[in-house]
Chain A
């Protein structure tokens, strides 16, 4: 298939794999974090780790939109949805995220009107079709999805639609990366930068990582060859003693980002003073809310939202997994109490979550498997 198979070519993968191996210094261990959950998914789905030497380790980062939603926000959303006047709309990924009283899917099975949409514009359509109802869109995601929320709000404003609002949970990636860099638990050699986020914010926001922390960053695409090439580019920087921000995903990511999208976000949303991240705690200036000029679309102002903080279950180690300190299988409840069908932690919910990706695709002994696949 065009524009897909080219980026999954096994011959080129073998060539890159050899080049990566050749750059490994004997006795040195390399740890790279792929910030974005989309990368985690690709890595496991295509079995990319089979191409890496043992001394190169990938650490899964916090860039999975549903993984970082704290339980309290899910409870708030469930409370909103329980209002009989409300039709709650949400992306599919969010439907299975457990709050303290269960997930959207559980609520839906009990008759709460929660509908899955593929785009916030679908929510707008539902609002137009149901003028006697108040339609709320559960907005989640990094700078990748924030523009579509912003554009939807702008369109709702232009149409004068009054029964549509946003429960805004948009977060920003840079403060999270900074929190990880400042965390004493983890020694990283470099970052595979988030490709989708960067289509919006560009590559400049990562410059502090290379400049202040001396770590190389390569913004990467989402096909397996993209990621392999990015690892090679990181290794090359390390072998040359450089640390810079480089863009592997030039076919999509402009260095300065998407100005139109950024303007739409800036027009409708502003930074919150702080926001709670699942497992990472409160991070200042790390999330977005509606600007006062768009308060009429802000579900948090229109409705009563309990805003209760719910502590994560003690056994759940999502925070450690999100920071890359623990591997998914190192969590105490991984695969037994916490599985994709009955997730306790968010990392097990989304296909982009490190735990779900490992459980669904990577739950095997690579050494043993190599022998089997050779047979």
Chain B
């Protein structure tokens, strides 16, 4: 050990200052210049500015110009700038969206994929069918309130449900690591069976692969699901319009915080269990109760904040939510405060966000609250027209701020 200490390793060229030019900065700036030219915006000359003086009116105008410029930059074609995949690409936030749009959507582009909803809506021989798929890599595999098995069934059932479909059949693909205990696999599969029974779906096809030790982390599961759409509503986040209300079906962030604490790395203990549950019953009740449902999403990776941003962007509206009205359990809030995480970004596995016509708000809320999974449902905000594309949060403190898409990856591998 101590012998290694005298070892001096020099990276080639590390002693030459000129090798330390940041090429990526040059690229970013070139892109910036191109955008600025496109916009035909005069760059703000700073020279004539008097730094000490107050600058109310003129400053506000310039700030407005800058905000517009940023808006344009945000609307520009998404591009993956990284050379390699980082954990952020899987976090469900901004990087995930960029990856999906720039790589996957770009390659597979078609009208059915384009809405990027939780499930695709297809017409097959006159029937409306929903199809979805999802992979599960949660760590740890077993956690308070569930395991990777019921998560894999509920997640796919929920993706179909929030598309307005009645989930019917699931596939299950297993990637198992050499050395994985068969008893653990039995527990996982038993949980899948129970979850499928509870949701009224059947696992009708499957696949098994085994990889060498170290090439996977115990057990990964992929499920795909198919369901039928029996109503004639058009659902999708792009349908949101001013005057609608935004609802959640229960307290948010339980699953993400449970997983984080279950890893035992933080020495924090809290009485919180995963909210993993099938949402098809709740969705059926909601759709039967009111005609004015515009969109539903289950708030998984990226949390409620991500969904609200998708609504704002895809519908071109402003989503205004009130912090006081968003249900969050004490334990989840406490752990989030300690960890410096906003519960708005923390995943749920059995909660949905719904956008409903304002006129139907009360009946929709009553319908949700009548269902066991929606007892603590709440109206958390409404849709406005301006400023479009923005999610505004009225803070409990009484101020206002925006809620952006998640950047980075605070909680890896939660589902």
Say yes or no: A341 contacts B400, CB within 8 Å. no
Q: Report the separation of the CA atoms of residues A365 and B401 in the bound assembly, to the nearest whole angstrom.
A: 10
Q: Which residues of A contact B51 (CB under 8 A)?
A: 185-186, 325
Interface mask (A236-263 → B, CB under 8 Å = 1, otherwise 0): 0000000000000000000000000000
Say yes or no: A224 contacts B28, CB within 8 Å. no
Pairs across A and B, CB under 8 Å, 15 listed: A29-B54, A55-B54, A85-B4, A99-B22, A100-B22, A106-B84, A134-B5, A187-B52, A308-B15, A330-B62, A340-B407, A340-B408, A351-B340, A365-B63, A372-B318
Q: Report the separation of the CA atoms of residues A79 and B15 in the bound assembly, to the nearest whole angstrom.
A: 11
Kindly provide the distance from the CB of A39 to the nearest chain B CB, expressed in whole angstroms: 14
Q: Report the separation of the CA atoms of residues A302 and B8 in the bound assembly, to the nearest whole angstrom.
A: 9
Partner among B4, B88, B340, B394 whose Cβ is within 8 Å of the Cβ of A134: B4
Say yes or no: A14 contacts B28, CB within 8 Å. no
Q: Which residues of B contact A134 (CB under 8 A)?
A: 1, 4-5
A336 and B402 in contact (CB under 8 A), knowing A10-B396, A47-B395, A342-B28? no
B207 at the interface (CB under 8 A from A): no
A284 at the interface (CB under 8 A from B): no
Say yes or no: A1 contacts B330, CB within 8 Å. yes
How many chain B residues touch A (CB < 8 A): the figure is 78
Nearest 3 pairs between A and B by C-beta?
A: A47-B399, A337-B32, A335-B70
Closest B residue, CB atoms, query A310: B20
Closest B residue, CB atoms, query A7: B397
Say yes or no: B1 contacts A335, CB within 8 Å. no
Which of A141-149, A173-181, A208-216, A355-363 faces chain B? A355-363
Q: Report the separation of the CA atoms of residues A368 and B385 in the bound assembly, to the nearest whole angstrom.
A: 12
Q: Which residues of B contact A362 (CB under 8 A)?
A: 401-402
A332 at the interface (CB under 8 A from B): yes
Say yes or no: B5 contacts A302, CB within 8 Å. yes
A313 and B22 in contact (CB under 8 A), knowing A187-B52, A360-B402, A363-B70? yes
Say yes or no: B392 contacts A1, CB within 8 Å. no
Name the residue among B11, B88, B265 with the largest chain A CB count within 10 angstroms: B11
Partner among B7, B20, B52, B392 whose Cβ is within 8 Å of the Cβ of A364: B392
Interface mask (B54-76 → A, CB under 8 Å = 1, otherwise 0): 10100010111011011001000
Q: How large is the interface on A (under 10, 10 to 19, 20 to 34, 35 or more residues)?
A: 35 or more
A109 and B69 in contact (CB under 8 A), knowing A342-B28, A369-B392? no
Interface mask (A7-21 → B, CB under 8 Å = 1, otherwise 0): 011100110000000
Interface mask (A83-113 → B, CB under 8 Å = 1, otherwise 0): 1010000001000101111100110111000
Q: Which residues of A contact B397 (CB under 8 A)?
A: 8-10, 13, 46-48, 224-225
Closest A residue, CB atoms, query B28: A337
B36 at the interface (CB under 8 A from A): yes
- Chain B positions within 8 Å of A, measured between CB atoms, are 1-2, 4-5, 7-11, 14-15, 17, 20-22, 24-25, 28-29, 31-32, 35-36, 43-44, 46, 51-52, 54, 56, 60, 62-64, 66-67, 69-70, 73, 81-88, 94-95, 98, 265-266, 318, 320, 330, 333-334, 337, 340, 384, 386-387, 390, 392-402, 404, 407-408, 410
Kindly provide the distance from the CB of A278 to the nearest chain B CB, expressed in whole angstroms: 14
Kindly provide the distance from the CB of B267 to the nearest chain A CB, expressed in whole angstroms: 9
Partner among A55, A306, A338, A360 whose Cβ is within 8 Å of the Cβ of B28: A338
Closest A residue, CB atoms, query B331: A1
Closest A residue, CB atoms, query B5: A302
A363 and B399 in contact (CB under 8 A), knowing A134-B5, A308-B17? no
Closest A residue, CB atoms, query B89: A109
Partner among B24, B35, B46, B56 whose Cβ is within 8 Å of the Cβ of A330: B46
Q: Report the separation of the CA atoms of residues A102 and B44 in the bound assembly, to the nearest whole angstrom.
A: 29
Say yes or no: A13 contacts B398, CB within 8 Å. yes
Kindly provide the distance from the CB of B212 to the nearest chain A CB, expressed in whole angstroms: 19
Kindly provide the distance from the CB of A297 to the nearest chain B CB, expressed in whole angstroms: 12
A204 at the interface (CB under 8 A from B): no
Q: Which residues of A contact B333 (CB under 8 A)?
A: 1, 4
Say yes or no: A332 contacts B43, CB within 8 Å. yes
Q: Which residues of A contact B398 (CB under 8 A)?
A: 10, 13-14, 47, 50-51
Closest A residue, CB atoms, query B36: A336
Q: Report the separation of the CA atoms of residues A85 and B1 in the bound assembly, to the nearest whole angstrom.
A: 10
Say yes or no: A373 contacts B392, CB within 8 Å. yes
Say yes or no: B67 contacts A365, CB within 8 Å. yes
Q: Report the separation of the CA atoms of residues A45 and B400 in the bound assembly, to the nearest whole angstrom.
A: 8
Q: Report the separation of the CA atoms of residues A8 and B70 in the bound assembly, to the nearest whole angstrom.
A: 31
A264 at the interface (CB under 8 A from B): no
Say yes or no: B20 contacts A75, CB within 8 Å. yes
Say yes or no: A47 contacts B54, CB within 8 Å. no
A373 and B320 in contact (CB under 8 A), knowing A49-B399, A360-B404? yes
Closest A residue, CB atoms, query B53: A29
Closest B residue, CB atoms, query A342: B81
Q: Which residues of B contact A304 (CB under 8 A)?
A: 8-10
Say yes or no: B387 contacts A364, CB within 8 Å. yes
Say yes or no: B7 contacts A372, CB within 8 Å. no
A82 and B392 in contact (CB under 8 A), knowing A50-B398, A333-B32, A337-B29? no
Closest B residue, CB atoms, query A317: B46
Q: Which residues of A contact B28 (CB under 8 A)?
A: 333, 337-338, 342, 344
A123 at the interface (CB under 8 A from B): no
Closest A residue, CB atoms, query B333: A1
Q: Report the separation of the CA atoms of residues A42 and B87 in the bound assembly, to the nearest whole angstrom.
A: 27
Q: Report the separation of the CA atoms of residues A361 and B344 in the bound assembly, to the nearest whole angstrom.
A: 13
In the complex, besides A373-B320, A373-B394, 12 extra interface pairs with C-beta distance below 8 angstroms are A47-B401, A98-B22, A101-B20, A101-B22, A106-B83, A109-B82, A187-B52, A224-B399, A308-B15, A308-B20, A332-B44, A373-B400
Closest B residue, CB atoms, query A305: B14
